[in-house]
């Protein structure tokens, strides 16, 4: 039965149904070998090996997908993960259209090879792909080519297949379209530019676009142009596939396309996207999309994680008999995974620092071109600061020795307890207990993620307490972490504990006196009608002192919006005033003037100032 299900001539044509069936299939496979706990015995391995042999006779794409799904569901030891990895020849063939799309694609390729048909295919693949879309496309095609043998059902299945295929497989199709979009004009634009402009016209259909939209479009165009030619199709495909016209909210759709573009551009783009999520000049909907890059970006196959550790010669993370559990988070440079002893291991992506450096050079070249010839020429200083800051952060975050020191600083910085409402909670910094050049291991925090709290009032109490704590670090003029978002916290209400982890954005040294004085000046210039404007503050970063320090303050405040968004303006004001009770650095207070006095003397605060989101 297993063989028949995956033979190319018996393949389930509907990919949604196919994925559901393969989910049940892998569950049955696990049950047949004795469960999802790999016991390391020869008997267990032999059973899995026999199953793999039966699966191998089927379709190569399905074989890869099922092995990956099986691996993700298994708490596997190293030998099993190596066994589950598909053979090299299969991975080399995996993303060929011949294996992914079969005979349907050969017919579609023949139809769309003619000039002008490529744009119709792009429009179709960017749409919802429902039966109505298929009928319209087929009717349009038959007007021009009566000999077309494609059916409505074949177009529907092709669209579904494209939507759920590996990015590389979809990029293969887009590359074919790019090669087939031709023109007789020798001075014509490169084919990637034609595809880019067509995709953008679908993502941003308004005839009159906002300044923010045009800035994003120019930035993406120049970035792709500055990228190596061989990577352009992947980036175009990621952007195109992230955008789907099947939602009533077209803004969210287009920003999903931008996020997918950055996610698949590489670790530097992911890191830059994370930084942009804390930048007020970026549209709010896009900031929300980019925040997803902090916890769920570019998830690898399970067997890749063991290979990463081997390449970096770090065998201390997992022994041959340790079991690797669920992937808990996947971001720019690290992937966090469960270990059977109850700990969590962060594994560094191989070559992340080198790849990121190369990508940041591409970003810098793109910005240089925009700053010279773009519509915002001479106005991109703040963007250049964001890229520069992200590049420096990448150098720090990929150095595990620095990471260990940051964890030591965090352990000393945070108090042992925090009051949530009327209750005292233990505040636990989940420091590293083992690390090497390519991994870091820490205890697993108990409880649930902040966003999983269902009791909204309790959630607000946690938000008030934690927002107050982090703001107090800034007001004291000392060290703080500039990226404390909700993905770095676990709450155990029954055990009265809060666990904090991931301190890759923790400052290593306290700010200089002049940094604090300039920060006070920048904040003063950013108050309008007694309220702090983060947009104004972001522009003050360049005008005052050390832009890296003030950019970190801005990033910290925006990252904390995970908590402050749950609070009213009055709540936020009270949180800031409570934070000030722990002390406000005099270098920061002096340039703030009246606002600084309000921080020092809360009883007069409501008469002279307020704080808002």
Three-state SS string over 503-566 comes to CCCECCCCCCHHHHHHHHHHHHHHEECCEECHHHHHHHHHHCCCHHHHHHHHHHHHHCHHHHCC
Tens of pLDDT, residues 55-64: 765 566 677 7
> Residue 76, SS3?
strand
Q: Which residues contact 599 (CB under 8 A, 6 or more apart)?
A: 475, 576, 577, 580, 584, 589, 592, 605
Distance between CA atoms of residues 401 and 267, nearest Å: 20
Residue 249 CB burial class (10 angstroms; 0-12, 13-18, ≥19): exposed
Q: What is the mean pLDDT of residues 1-25?
A: 60
Q: What's the token pair of residue 8?
A: 């190319």
pLDDT tens, position by position, 375-434: 767 777 777 777 887 788 888 888 999 999 999 999 999 999 999 999 999 999 999 989
Top pLDDT among 57 and 454 is at 454
The stretch 110-126 carries a mean pLDDT of 73
- The DSSP secondary structure of 257-292, one letter per residue, reads HHHHHHHTT-HHHHHHHHHHTT-TTS-HHHHHHHGG
Query: Whole-angstrom Cα distance, residue 154 to residue 171?
Result: 20
The verdict on pTM exceeding 0.85 is no
The answer for residues whose C-beta is within 8 angstroms of residue 88's C-beta and 6 or more apart is: none
In 309-364, at which residue ranges do the beta strands (DSSP E only) sit?
A: 324-330, 334-339, 343-348
Other beta carbons less than 10 A from residue 565's beta carbon: 10
**How large a percentage of the chain has pLDDT more than 90?**
17
Residue count of the chain: 613
pLDDT of residue 607: 41
Please spell the DSSP secondary structure of 437-463, one letter per residue. Answer: SSEEEEEPPPSEEGGG---HHHHHHHH
Q: What is the pLDDT of residues 532-580, one digit of tens each?
A: 676 677 777 767 766 788 888 888 888 888 898 898 888 887 888 888 8
Q: How many Å apart are CA 74 and CA 324, to the nearest integer?
A: 8
Distance of CA 207 to the CA centre of its chain: 30
Q: For the chain, what is the mean pLDDT?
A: 78
290 by Cβ neighbours in 10 Å (0-12 / 13-18 / 19+) ranks as buried
Rounded CA-CA distance 518/523 in Å is: 9
């Amino acid at each position: 039965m297993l063989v028949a299900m995956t033979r190319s001539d018996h393949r389930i044509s509907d990919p949604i149904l196919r994925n559901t069936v393969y989910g049940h299939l892998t569950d049955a496979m696990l049950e047949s070998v004795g469960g999802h706990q790999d016991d390391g015995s020869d008997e267990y391995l032999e059973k899995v090996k026999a199953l793999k042999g039966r699966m191998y006779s089927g379709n190569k794409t399905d074989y890869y997908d099922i092995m990956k799904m099986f691996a993700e569901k298994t708490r596997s030891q190293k030998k099993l993960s190596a066994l589950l990895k598909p053979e090299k020849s299969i991975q080399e063939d995996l993303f060929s259209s011949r294996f992914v799309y079969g005979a349907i694609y050969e017919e579609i390729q023949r139809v769309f090879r003619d000039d002008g048909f490529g744009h119709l295919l792009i429009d179709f693949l960017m749409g919802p792909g429902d039966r109505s879309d298929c009928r319209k496309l087929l009717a349009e095609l038959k007007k021009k080519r009566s000999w077309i043998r494609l059916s409505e059902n074949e177009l529907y299945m092709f669209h579904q297949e494209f939507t759920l295929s590996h990015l590389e497989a979809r990029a293969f199709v887009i590359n074919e379209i790019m090669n087939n979009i031709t023109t007789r004009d020798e001075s014509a634009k490169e084919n990637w530019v034609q595809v880019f402009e067509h995709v953008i016209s679908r993502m941003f259909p308004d005839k009159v676009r906002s300044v923010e939209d045009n800035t994003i479009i120019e930035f993406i165009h120049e970035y792709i142009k500055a990228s190596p030619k061989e990577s352009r199709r992947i980036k175009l495909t990621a952007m195109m596939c992230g955008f789907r016209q099947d939602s009533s909210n077209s803004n969210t759709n287009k920003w999903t396309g931008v996020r997918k573009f950055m996610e698949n551009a590489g670790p530097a783009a992911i890191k830059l996207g994370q930084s942009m999520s804390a930048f007020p000049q970026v549209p709010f909907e896009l900031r929300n999309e980019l925040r997803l890059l902090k916890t769920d970006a570019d998830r690898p196959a399970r067997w890749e994680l063991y290979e990463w550790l081997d390449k970096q010669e770090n065998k201390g993370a997992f022994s041959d008999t340790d079991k690797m559990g669920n992937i808990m988070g996947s971001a720019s440079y690290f992937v966090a995974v469960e270990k059977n002893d109850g700990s969590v291991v962060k594994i560094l992506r191989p070559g992340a620092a080198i790849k990121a450096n190369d990508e940041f050079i591409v970003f810098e070249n793109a910005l240089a071109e925009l700053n010279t010839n773009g519509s915002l020429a001479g106005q991109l200083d703040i963007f250049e600061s964001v890229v520069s800051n992200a590049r420096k952060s990448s150098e720090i975050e990929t150095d595990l020795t620095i990471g260990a020191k940051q964890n030591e600083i965090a352990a000393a910085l945070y108090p042992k307890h925090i009051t949530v409402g009327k209750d005292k909670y233990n505040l636990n910094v989940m420091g590293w207990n083992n690390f090497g050049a390519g991994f870091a291991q820490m205890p697993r925090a108990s409880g649930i993620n902040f966003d999983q709290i269902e009791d909204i009032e309790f959630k607000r109490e946690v938000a008030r307490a934690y927002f107050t704590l982090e703001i107090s670090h800034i007001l004291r003029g000392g060290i703080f972490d500039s990226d404390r978002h909700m993905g770095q916290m676990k709450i155990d209400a029954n055990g009265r504990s809060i666990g904090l982890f991931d301190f890759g954005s923790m400052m290593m040294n306290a700010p200089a006196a002049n940094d604090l004085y300039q920060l006070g000046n920048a904040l003063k210039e950013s108050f309008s009608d007694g309220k702090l404007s983060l947009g104004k503050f972001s522009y003050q970063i360049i005008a005052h002192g050390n832009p890296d320090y003030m950019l970190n303050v801005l990033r910290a405040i925006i990252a904390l919006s995970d908590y402050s968004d749950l609070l009213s303006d009055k709540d936020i004001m009270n949180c800031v005033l409570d934070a000030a009770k722990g002390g406000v650095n005099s270098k920061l207070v002096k340039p703030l003037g009246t606002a600084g006095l309000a921080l020092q003397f809360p009883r007069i605060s409501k008469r002279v100032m307020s704080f808002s989101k």
